[in-house]
């Protein structure tokens, strides 16, 4: 996966590549999907949710510019795979999931893999995680209709936010940097994530009806 898909598609960050090489992605999917676990695509994880495509995990993780001593917030724990990758690259990881069953499963796997610097929390991540703010980096693994102000407020100065923003079905990846003079923002790859549902995200009914 690392050599033939990530490097081949232009991922150059050696720390990110090493972290992804060290996390067994097949343990984060059900036994019937393990043969496909190293394909470069999103896979179902139950509850109508997905584990993200490896390329997208690598790209988003690289955009966070982690050096090793950061406190990171992930919104959308899902299977826990992205959190396991982050655990190799940062000092402390808080990951928030709205679906209890997914959070419990992820917590078990992260414990099994000894990712002791990761805390899994069940809550509506659209309002961030004020009790543990501020963060050096925030990564949002679900599609937002707009950028919730809470994420900007909960970033440290020089902190980075990576988030897919757009419609229910297609988005663009945004990287936001908070500086002492304000916000800088850049746009990269088009993407398609499951919806970020909650107070500052999509309405749950709307997302199922769409
Ligand atoms: N990072 C995950 C992984 O490595 O498996 C994949 C995340 S999946 C694409 C998106 C996740 O975001 C889903 O598990 C979904 O339940 C969750 N989610 C959606 N809205 C949320 C919210 N407001 N707060 C927390 N989690 C949310």
Q: Indicate which residue's Cα is closest to atom 12 of ligand 1.
A: 76
76 dihedral zone (left: phi>0; alpha: psi -120 to 50; beta): left
Q: Is the CB of 49 under 6 A from ligand 1?
A: yes
Identify the sign of the CA torsion 185, 186, 190, 192. Answer: negative
CA–CA distance, 28 with 16 (Å, rounded to integer): 18
The string of pLDDT tens digits covering residues 104-158 is: 999 999 999 999 999 999 999 999 999 999 999 999 999 999 999 999 999 999 9
Instruction: Give 182's contacts (C-beta < 8 A, 6+ positions apart).
Output: none
CA distance 52 to 180: 33
This prediction's pTM? 0.97
Tell me the domain boundaries of the chain: 63-191
Element (H, E) at 165: strand 155-166
Q: Is 180 a catalytic residue?
A: no
CATH topology of domain 63-191: Rossmann fold (3.40.50)
- What confidence tens digit (pLDDT) does each residue in 13-66 have? 999 999 999 999 999 999 999 999 999 999 999 999 999 999 999 999 999 999
* Catalytic annotation, pick one of 22, 30, 52, 123: 52
Ligand 1 neighbour 140 (Cβ under 6 A): no
198 lines ligand 1 (CB under 6 A): yes
Find out whether the beta carbon of 51 lies less than 6 Å from any atom of ligand 1.
yes
């Amino acid at each position: 996966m690392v050599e033939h898909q990530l490097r081949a598609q232009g991922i150059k960050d050696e720390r990110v590549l090493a972290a992804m090489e060290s996390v067994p992605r097949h343990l984060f999917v059900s036994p019937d999907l393990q043969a496909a676990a190293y394909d470069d695509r999103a896979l179902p994880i139950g509850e109508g949710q997905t584990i993200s495509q490896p390329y997208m995990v690598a790209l988003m993780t690289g955009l966070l510019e982690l050096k090793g001593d950061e406190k990171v917030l992930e919104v959308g724990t899902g299977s826990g795979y992205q959190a396991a990758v982050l655990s190799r690259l940062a000092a402390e990881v808080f990951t928030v999931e709205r679906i209890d069953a997914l959070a419990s499963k992820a917590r078990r796997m992260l414990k099994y893999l000894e990712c002791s610097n990761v805390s899994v929390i069940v809550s509506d991540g659209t309002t961030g995680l004020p009790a543990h703010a501020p963060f050096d980096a925030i990564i949002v693994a679900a599609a937002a209709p707009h950028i919730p102000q809470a994420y900007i407020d909960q970033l440290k100065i020089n902190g980075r936010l990576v988030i897919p923003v757009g419609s229910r079905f297609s988005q663009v990846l945004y990287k936001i940097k908070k500086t002492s003079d304000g916000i800088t923002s850049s746009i990269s790859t088009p993407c398609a994530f499951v919806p970020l549902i909650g107070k500052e995200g999509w309405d749950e009914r709307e997302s199922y009806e769409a």
